[in-house]
Structure 1
Amino acid sequence: MMRFILSLVLLPTLAAAQTPAADQARAAADALEAASNMLDDADGARDRVRALTETIQAFESGLGAMRTGLRQAAINEAQLTKKLQSREEEVAALLGALQSMGGGASPVALLHPDGPMGTARAGMLLAELTPALNARADALRTDLENVQTLRALQTDAAKRLQEGLTEVQAARIALNQAMANRTDLPKRFTADPVRTGILIASTETLDGFASGLSEIVTDEIEPAPVNLDGQIGELRLPVQGLILRRAGEADAAGVKRPGVIMATRPGAIVISPTAATIRYAGPLLDFGNVVILEPQADTLFVLAGLDVVYGEAGQVIAGGTPVGLMGGSLAEKGDELSPLREGTGTERSETLYIEVRQANRPQDPVAWFRTDEDG
């Protein structure tokens, strides 16, 4: 009987336990599985660059959701474990009571010393106590089941997360190759590398360089204008991440810039928010690699801090086209699973500077992009 009681109270049924963290991690695992299928299909896609871009974005979303789910699962598991440890005496007392109730007692043992009336009162008390004991046993069993479910889920999800990190890296390598092989992009103008070099050497600020860009092109062919009317404020951010610093906010050194700084994960893909002409792509001053896009006349999007850049000045690209990748090294195996690491935000170790300029005047990027997205 004791063995039956222990199995009833202590043995978990993993499939029965449901928690928000478990549901979130399972949904993230489904997203990663879908991204894996997209990666398999990308090789045969007609537009391989677009297919790989969508695949990498799907992986980034799935990996972010998986990290969040794992972090919450670890927190929930720790809370439940602490709760159960604090109730060890209650568990022991409950098991003792259940064991006494489940023992094969003789009829004499059921008789009360006060006679039939006492026996009747004891029976009524036991009848009231049994549902309460059962309810407490059910609550403990549910907590134990959830702990076991969360532990099993973390083991499975950690394996899937590691596989996803490997696959997204393979997708980035494939994208590098696909972009190197791309020759079908139309050109709006031909850049003059000598004049570009002189402009870089003669300017000390991003503002000065952006202002002089229009003066260093030759053989310009005006394309059909891109009209952003009605899209301002609804444009997609060029990278998945979080706004670290808004326009006009001073950094640690007290420097204020007119653009926003996005915190991103290592290797994050950077895309063009809309159809645009590449005005510049390459290293610039102390900003690292910079891409400057012109979506419409007198409007520039400045993206600074990339590790890898795609395309060259003069090319016309469609919205959603990758323009580069962020730098940084991927986490060592196991680091990406740490709930403490995730909780501090250190997984977003790279920063992308985004500036919007219209008629040579800086604009607040928050007014141009949807900034309510959490990557």
Structure 2
Amino acid sequence: MTGAALALLALALGADPRARLEELRAHKAAEESAARALAAQEGSLLSALDAAEQGWLAAAAAAAEAEAERAAAELRLARARAEEAAAQTRLAGLQEELGPRLRARARQGQLGELRLLASAPSLADLVKRRYLWAEVTRHDLALLGEAQRALEARERARRGREEEAARVASLARRSAARRDEAAARREEHRTLLGAVRSARTLHERAAGEAAGQEVKLAEFVAALPPLGAGAPLHTGFPQLRGRLPRPAAGPVEAGFGRVVDPRWGTVTVQNGVDIRAAPGAEVRAVAPGRVAHAGWFKGYGNLVIVDHGEGYHTLVAHLASMSTAMGETVEAGTLLGTVGDTGSMKGPYLYFEIRERGRPVDPAAWLRP
């Protein structure tokens, strides 16, 4: 679509053609970027999706970091402004105190002290006047010194405030650029994901690749070494059959085994269950164990695997965030992360598996009714 055509379409679709035009341009750029990503990853749709998602997640993290730096600079700027105001208030107070005294000295002129001393009626009064004059002079000089220091402090505070203001402006521009980049990356990933969902051939290719990733995941779990030194884990997991809590609240949307896609009729075999939990919902360990893996796995996004001993593992995938690390000991109910859509082609949900000596088993037989 040409720029002129985009402009005409924007005028036809909305009251604010400029904003609509920018939106259309961003979507067009995302489509072009998604097409390039597909072309660059000829052999793997999942790799293209994975690269796009990793790109926007990295951009979003950079945007959050830039925004945190900007917020910290705003706090420093507020402190700098307060310091400048305090310095100005102090300087104004000293100037108000010094003003009348300096004006009085100016009226007296250079011979003021001599006239004061010469008018003394006695020697004792002369000594007294000399002492008092010296004290007044000392006090005035101290005030002048303090005023000079207050002026210097005010100038330092002003320069600090100007530097912080410039830093805030620079960081604000950087934060805005990072947000724009993250939004563009997110749109690219959404467009690519939408293409995979809406085209049967792409959907079938992605489903086939997902099956391949299931095999790789099985090999990965089977190859996980026992964690820690000493005696192997014995958590009594086999005795928990039929009594495990769900890792997150929500209905099971797709069960274990053969699953038929309602739109395309394609058949896939699931090694776990899909729990339609709310985005951001807490995901918790179903039983005691040790974390055998906590990281990214292609096709599964953020994946946490808990080793429960005696050959049993549980897996939770597509997490938005992870709250644990490899090697950590967990109890039943320990927070593992939150529900998200990383690596997902079906939106936010929780994927849950139970494996017995590497072999997937139906979680329905293990979870509490």
TM superposition score category, shorter chain reference: 0.3 to 0.5
**TM-score (ref. length: structure 1):** 0.39
- Answer 1 or 2: which has greater helix percent: 2
Higher normalized contact order (CA 8 Å, seq sep 6+, divided by chain length) = 1
